[in-house]
Chain A
Amino acid sequence: MNFGFTQEQDLLRDQVRRFLDDNCAMPEVRKIMKQPSGVSADLWQQMADLGLLGLIIPAEFGGVGLFWEDLIVVLEETGRSLFPSPFISTTLAASTLVELGNAAQKKKWLPEIASGNTIAACAILDEHDCPQLDNITLAISSERTLTGDKSFVPDAGIADLFLVAFRDGDELALALIARDEPGVDTSTTATMDESKRTGTLKLDNVSIDASNLLQCDGKAMTRLLDKGSVAVTAEMIGAAETVLEMTTQYAKDRIQFGHPIGKYQGVKHRLAEIYLDIESFKSLLYYAAWTIDQSPDELSRSASIAKAYASDAFVAIGIEGVQLHGAIGFTAEYDVQLFLKRSKWARPMFGDSDYHYERIAALGGL
């Protein structure tokens, strides 16, 4: 029994934190997020050089060959510093390729992803952002072509490669579609969280054949979505911890009525509650990440519990972070507001708390 991180994992955390602190502190984050692409090509390349883009890609395909329990360490750190990058999208796509791709597909794409040459994104859902399988409605034509729009595809604007979910008759299917194939177009949409990009993937008669089909069924699709929940929750932890740190420090420094405001229970008890929530969804997340590789049958339940708990808690933390700062927290210049925006971004990603709690009830036999 050991529910903690190894020394290697602690070192990995230190390394990523140092890299981000040195190269992408808040002023840099703000600069990157104002650029049209929303990403720094230079930092992305450095991520690749550090082995982070190939972290869970097997060594034979140019990666490091680690597991999701290692990956979440990195994600907590990217979340902590609001690092703007397509890291979740690309890693999720890579993880799916590792599991569902054939030898040729893996050989073609995985080394490209690990080396930073290919940014990948997942275009799964259609009508709305609820991650239910019946929300995959795009259907392949009898000529084996795909035509339609996938909206709210994270990082669509900068991705070179897409994993596109669709229906083939009654079956679910997943295709690899490169950005430069004929009939593929994308547009980028801004959201209130400028450190994250979303967009639309437009497909016009894009032909699909065996070479770009992955081995996917409903179960594999569900697993992909569950991993997405885990990845987003990991970033939520890091971001929520930053809010707690910033706000706790502010509560020690800001004097009103002759004392630091952190002396007053209206302030300190809220911070204690935030600590309780972060500790708790941390435990839930770590376990969910472990189940991905070690106990897949438990993944749906554990991912849903983590994402449900975190979605509500982080939104409350974002609001409280601003509120406890007073007016300064409302200013564009002060960083805490960026975390509030991140919490709004993270809530619906891969399902909000209503969706996940409903799923937990169903899995629990109600």
Chain B
Amino acid sequence: MDFEYTQEEQAFRQEVRDFLDKNLPPWEQRGPGFMAEWLKKVRGKCWVGFSWPKEVGGGGGNIMEQVILKEEMARRRAPALGTCFMGLAWVGPGIIKYGTEEQKQRFIPEILDSKYQWCTGYSEPNVGSDLASLQCKAVRDGDSYVINGTKIWTSLAPFADWISMLVRTDNSSESKHEGITSLLVKLDSPGIDIQPIENMAGASIFAQIFFDNVRVPVENRLGEEGKGWEVTISSLANERSSIGEVTAMYEKLENLKELIKKARKNGKPARKDVGVRRRIAEFESRIEAMRLNGLRYLTKQIKGEPLSSETSVNKLHRALLEIDMTDFAVDILGQAGLQLSGQEEAVDHGRWATAALSWPDVVIGGGTPNIQKNIVAERILGLPKD
């Protein structure tokens, strides 16, 4: 075992830190032009699409460098490296892996420049965890596909310009994984109707999208017709050892501790309460377990062994921690914890109250805990499928 960083890695960490010291002013000092400036600068550093090959305009960062960049960014609570969140997270990697030369030249620079907002259309009203049973239909007609059907829970759809979506082009196959095709669709195409849906935290970030005879040129197909499942699985697998998230969780824990130091429980300082102390220590231990699990997975990656289902372990930890920590914060604050941003007694601008209503993003969004447990039980332990 060896937890040292090489000289090059240390130098890179220092480079990131220096950059952040110079270019990331404290929250209060950020003016209206800050975000645009920031995006231009990180783009200049080639940190946007940092893991992508240099040939397509990415940063060509190796695994350790990616981890270091993520860690340092999270530690300083830096804003994202681009506003094209899904484009950078998996649409881009999908295009790099499966796209034609034209598609790469057309889409990748725009994604790197966050020119457009992308969203992801997988789920449908009757299709959630069992994604491969999707039904939204596309029929080939000359040089176009014609889409009819609906997508739902599409995050960012109300603000998006493009959608990367899965459609069914063939219903005849025995296997539901066959006959799925991946399409890149412009959201201002005629026949598209986007209806935002308000979530329990009061935000309307996801939407239902209706497709009524929407024509999409064939050149916007990603990968082969009928092979969209493969494209999807491999771009989702792009998520890695979760080290960056761990740093953010530690930040959250520190915030929670600060809260505890000010709060009272049973009429006494909360920091002296045995139950409170134990809960906080449990959170810390679970986050530390995530960190160290992540380092073991990272070691595998460095050795060139692919990561597979074991990453479900940290996804489960993260999901449960997200629920438990935000709920604990609201609980400890009592009545004041129920006040949202703008309400009179709101603590920390209602941040905790909002967080306690926002966990589904992490918990349900990327595959529910039950599904993660199925993955572990079936693929790692070899138990029969249900």
Contact = CB atoms under 8 A, between A and B. Distances in A.
Interface of A: 1-5, 69, 244, 248, 251-252, 259-260, 262-265, 267-269, 271-273, 275-276, 279-281, 283-284, 286-287, 290, 294-295, 302, 305, 308-309, 354, 356-362, 364-366
Interface string B359-381: 00000000000101110111011
Which 6 A/B pairs are nearest by Cβ-Cβ distance? A283-B292, A280-B289, A268-B377, A361-B277, A360-B281, A357-B281
20 contacts: A1-B9, A4-B303, A252-B383, A262-B381, A268-B377, A268-B381, A272-B374, A275-B381, A280-B290, A280-B292, A287-B292, A305-B288, A305-B289, A308-B281, A358-B274, A358-B278, A360-B284, A361-B280, A362-B277, A366-B261
B385 A263 contact: yes
Interface of B: 1-5, 9, 64, 257, 260-261, 271, 274, 277-278, 280-282, 284-286, 288-290, 292-293, 295-296, 298-300, 302-303, 310, 313, 316-317, 370, 372-374, 376-378, 380-386
A357 B386 CA distance: 38
A224 to B, nearest CB: 22
A248 B378 CA distance: 11
B4 A1 contact: yes
Nearest to A307: B285
Nearest to B4: A1
Interface SS of A by simple majority: helix
Central interface residue in A260, A272, A283, A365, by most chain B CB within 10 Å:
A272
A287 B300 CA distance: 16
A269 B372 CA distance: 9
A3 B289 contact: no
Nearest to A6: B1
Contacts of B1: 2-5, 69, 286, 290, 294
A357 to B, nearest CB: 4
Contacts of B286: 280, 309
Nearest to A265: B386
Contacts of A4: 1, 296, 299-300, 303
B386 A248 contact: no
Interface SS of B by simple majority: helix
A31 B149 CA distance: 69
Given A263-B385, A284-B289, A305-B288, 8 more contacts: A1-B298, A1-B299, A3-B295, A4-B296, A252-B382, A271-B381, A283-B293, A358-B274
Contacts of A244: 381
A309 B289 contact: yes
B285 A286 contact: no
A265 B313 CA distance: 17
Central interface residue in B286, B303, B313, B382, by most chain A CB within 10 Å:
B313
A309 B293 CA distance: 14
B292 A248 contact: no
Contacts of B377: 262, 268-269, 271-272, 275
B317 A305 contact: no
A58 B310 CA distance: 38
